[in-house]
Chains A and B, each alone.
Chain A
């Protein structure tokens, strides 16, 4: 296994009330490996999307990445880069696709010009060559009749086709790492299945490392090699996919599983997590899940570190040290 990218202790802060700062991403660490998919799972407000933005220095103002955060791609610390050298990483070595392709595509340019723009930005090729590459990319993401589609404008395409175009644009720089932030959330399930197949095929054929950000445990089960579950700005459980699904160990992860309706198996009442995810300025001290946790632990007012519960399986919970 080859580590392509390492995120270490990523902290992102925003100004809070009365001169304080809040940390919606608070010490996130993980690695991405060549040809592997890591799923970052969490609900709204868990910090998963902001983590992805932080990796490319795209945190919106007035947020900032805190000193001590590291995002290392090979020998390069991305967070130390500026200007041209940062631009050479974005889109070229690390590409990103988002939930809503319509807002990331420019409505007044054709598909061709939006793909060739990326090709020209990163490679010294002729216009004809760039167009050939664009057509080949469309073909690769499963768009029928690519030459005709190159002339299309985004509004002439269906949601699924637009997301394919976004993936083609992301691939145009031949990236080593692909960050896919809820890439299928806005799509119907049958289209979602198509797009996930495309992403899987590309990861295999290009040996890309994929960071798949999603709220959907079902998508994770079929596609990811490893899962990191986020809650309140922190990774609370991290494990190989099979191990996480066989033995979800953090009470929050267990709560998520209890909430997911299933198509098969016994039909019981769902057992949701009580309450709502609190906003960053209301996160409790100590264990951040303790206000919603079904288990009362004597040490819950101390912040737990990630502790092992099995081979390569970590939880941010004192329960890992055994029942009290």
Chain B
């Protein structure tokens, strides 16, 4: 077995508010000690609801944001220690695509120039003709017409813009792409097109993805493994099918039961979580989920002792009582 492409250990990202009264405010603990690995050619999905810290993880591991602490090793290189030049070289191999490709595309740049930007920065083409040839073949690879290179982003639909964003990321021939909610803003028929495209590209180019999403049904289409985040922690992780069929953390169970399935005969028991997500600047002590937990065995221990990820059945779960299934009827 070869070493994983990316190893992340104890990643912490806290945000301090700025301004006159900032020193008094506690930091937002967006990511609070997260560890995971992504294998070569593999997709790991990072799943959770707004504010769980999943996007912060994606942004810090490629150093779009600086981490507070922790370690990330990408193909042997310590990402967080790299100086400017080696980091630039590394960025050729780690790319990101965003939920809203429109806000990440310069409206005054033609599609061709946007796709070619990375090629130029990293001097990957010897001549203008070679550059244009590469742009054309990238556009075709993501299912767009090569003639679109001369047009502007506003002329395209959401799905086409996401394809442009993908072509732009592929231009520098990365081995790893952070996909930050890449299909969340798309209509369902277009979402399916883009998911299929991402799968094909992975197969063809041997790419690894960190796929950040909130939709578990989408995740099932693309990821071999899943990590579920809640308030800055990974609460459960495991192979996709195992985690979906035999979830061990009550939060994973609630998340799964909340996904509306397009099948009236398969309406499952719904676990409706009570209350709101606690503030990440003041997370609950002990298990962070204990304020909303419905597990029949939940106890004083949950309020004081932080549960760590440990193997239970087919997944790893951070719950003191993961062996006993939480009754779906308990609210």
Question: Which residues from chain B contact A245 at a C-beta distance below 8 Å?
Answer: 262-265
Question: Which residues from chain A contact B158 at a C-beta distance below 8 Å?
Answer: 44
Tell me whether B264 and A242 are in contact (CB under 8 A): yes
Minimum Cβ distance to chain B for residue A193 (Å): 4
* Residue A4 at the chain B interface, CB threshold 8 Å: no
Q: Is the interface of B mostly helix, strand, loop or mixed?
A: helix
Question: Which residues from chain A contact B312 at a C-beta distance below 8 Å?
Answer: none
Minimum Cβ distance to chain B for residue A278 (Å): 10
| Nearest-neighbor residue (CB-CB) of A218 within chain B | B260
Using A43-B187, A259-B189 as known contacts, say yes or no to A194 and B261 having CB atoms under 8 A apart. no
Tell me whether A276 and B157 are in contact (CB under 8 A): yes
Interface flags for A101-112 (1: CB within 8 Å of B; 0: not) read 000000000000
Question: Which residues from chain B contact A269 at a C-beta distance below 8 Å?
Answer: 196, 199
Tell me whether A158 and B192 are in contact (CB under 8 A): no
Tell me whether A190 and B49 are in contact (CB under 8 A): yes
* Residue A296 at the chain B interface, CB threshold 8 Å: no
Tell me whether B264 and A216 are in contact (CB under 8 A): no
Using A218-B262, A222-B267, A276-B157 as known contacts, say yes or no to A261 and B189 having CB atoms under 8 A apart. no
Q: What class of interface size applies to chain A in its complex with B?
A: 35 or more
Minimum Cβ distance to chain B for residue A309 (Å): 18
Q: Is the interface of A mostly helix, strand, loop or mixed?
A: helix
Q: Which residues 140-172 of B have a CB within 8 angstroms of A?
A: 157-160
* Residue B109 at the chain A interface, CB threshold 8 Å: no
Provide a sorted-by-A list of 27 A–B residue pairs whose CB atoms are within 8 angstroms. A44-B187, A158-B277, A161-B276, A188-B214, A189-B49, A189-B255, A189-B259, A190-B255, A190-B258, A193-B257, A197-B270, A197-B272, A219-B260, A221-B261, A222-B260, A222-B264, A245-B263, A256-B188, A259-B192, A261-B215, A262-B220, A263-B256, A264-B244, A264-B266, A270-B195, A271-B192, A272-B189
Identify the B interface with A (CB < 8 A).
49-50, 157-160, 187-193, 195-196, 199, 214-218, 220-221, 241, 244, 254-267, 270, 272-273, 275-277
Identify the A interface with B (CB < 8 A).
43-44, 144, 158-161, 188-194, 196-197, 215-222, 241-242, 245, 255-264, 267, 269-274, 276-277
